[in-house]
């Protein structure tokens, strides 16, 4: 995981429509950058829906929400449409950005070890510096935790 106070690695990835989106596009705003394993799975859906329910609160805090997984842009489009997700979803099938942010890690499931995306979140400030690191977040609590951080810093 990256550390608080370090410059967030710059990236450009396709969004759910295939359009390129860069971290630098959001300079001047706080960025909630969350990494999740997969579209349409129970935990990832709960997490995304929690961000969607709180989206207006994030906007009022001058923050954008960006979700990143290794799913395709087409998968993100279906996921966003199905659950009415108003925020940016980025596709990282080669997991370059996921790795750059330390979210590609060894995982164990039923005794089997494999590499995959771990659920974690970064809060990046208006200048692109990491302000908060949240490793191993819980899908149901993540959005509320970030809103509390944003409100505390206002």
Contact 153, 33 (CB under 8 A): no
Among 44, 49, 120, 149, the one annotated catalytic: 44
| Residue boundaries of the structural domains of the chain | 12-146
pLDDT of residue 126: 96
pLDDT of residue 109: 79
This model's pTM is above 0.85: yes
Q: Phi/psi zone of residue 71: left (φ > 0), alpha (ψ -120 to 50 degrees), beta? A: beta
pLDDT of residue 31: 98
Contact 53, 85 (CB under 8 A): no
99-140 pLDDT tens trace: 999 999 998 878 889 999 999 999 999 999 999 999 989 999
- Please tell me the CATH code under which domain 12-146 is placed: 3.40.30.10
Burial string for 4-39 (b: 16+ CB within 10 Å, else e) reads eeeebeebebbbbeeeebebeebeebbbbbbbbbeb
pLDDT of residue 110: 85
Residues in the chain where the model's pLDDT stays below 70:
154
44 is catalytic: yes
Strand-pairing partners, residue 66, are: 33, 88
pLDDT of residue 125: 97
pLDDT of residue 111: 87
pLDDT of residue 105: 95
């Amino acid at each position: 995981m990256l550390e608080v106070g370090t410059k967030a690695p710059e990236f450009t990835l396709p969004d759910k429509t295939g359009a390129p989106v860069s971290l630098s596009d959001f300079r001047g705003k706080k960025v909630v950058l969350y990494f999740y394993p997969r579209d349409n799975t129970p935990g990832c859906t709960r997490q995304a829906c929690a961000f969607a329910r709180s989206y207006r609160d994030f906007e009022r805090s001058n923050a954008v929400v960006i979700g990143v997984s290794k799913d395709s842009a087409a998968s993100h489009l279906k996921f966003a449409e199905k659950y009415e997700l108003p925020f940016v979803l980025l596709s990282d099938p080669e997991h370059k950005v996921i790795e750059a942010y330390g979210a590609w890690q060894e995982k164990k499931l039923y005794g089997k070890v494999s590499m995959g995306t771990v659920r974690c979140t970064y809060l990046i400030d208006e200048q692109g510096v990491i302000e908060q690191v949240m490793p191993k977040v819980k899908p149901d609590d993540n959005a509320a935790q970030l809103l509390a951080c944003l409100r505390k810093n206002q």
